[in-house]
Amino acid sequence: MLLMMMMSAMMCHMVKSKEHFVGGSEFGWVPLPANNLTNWSLNEHFHLNDWLYFGYDRRYFNVLEVNKTSYENCIDAGFLKNVSGGAGRDVFQLTKEKTYYFLSGGGYCRRGLKVAIDVNDYVAPAPAPTPHKSGASALDAYNIYHSLVVLILILMCSNFLG
Ligand SMILES: *[C@@H]1O[C@H](CO)[C@@H](O)[C@H](O)[C@H]1NC(C)=O
Ligand SMILES: *[C@@H]1O[C@H](CO)[C@@H](O)[C@H](O)[C@H]1NC(C)=O
Ligand SMILES: *[C@@H]1O[C@H](CO)[C@@H](O)[C@H](O)[C@H]1NC(C)=O
Ligand SMILES: *[C@@H]1O[C@H](CO)[C@@H](O)[C@H](O)[C@H]1NC(C)=O
Rounded to the nearest whole angstrom, what is the distance from the C-alpha of residue 43 to the centroid of ligand 1? 8
Rounded to the nearest whole angstrom, what is the distance from the C-alpha of residue 44 to the centroid of ligand 1? 11
CATH number of the domain at 64, please.
Answer: 2.60.40.420
Domain encompassing residue 100: 19-118
The alpha helices in the chain, defined as continuous H runs, are: 2-16, 37-42, 68-73, 138-161
Q: Answer whether residue 11 is part of any domain.
A: no
Map residue 159 onto helix, strand or coil. helix
Burial readout 54-77 (b: 16 or more C-beta within 10 A, e: otherwise): bbbeeeebbbbbbeeebbeebbbe
Q: How many domains is the chain partitioned into structurally?
A: 1
Rounded to the nearest whole angstrom, what is the distance from the C-alpha of residue 28 to the centroid of ligand 1? 14
Q: Answer whether residue 68 is part of any domain.
A: yes
C-alpha–C-alpha distance, residues 150 and 91, integer Å? 35
pTM above 0.85, yes or no: no
Residues in contact with ligand 4 by the CB-under-6-Å rule are 62, 82, 84-86, 105
pLDDT tens track, the chain, 162 positions: 656 666 655 555 555 689 999 999 999 999 999 999 999 999 999 999 999 999 999 999 999 999 999 999 999 999 999 999 999 999 999 999 999 999 999 999 999 999 999 998 866 566 666 555 554 455 555 554 555 544 544 445 444 444
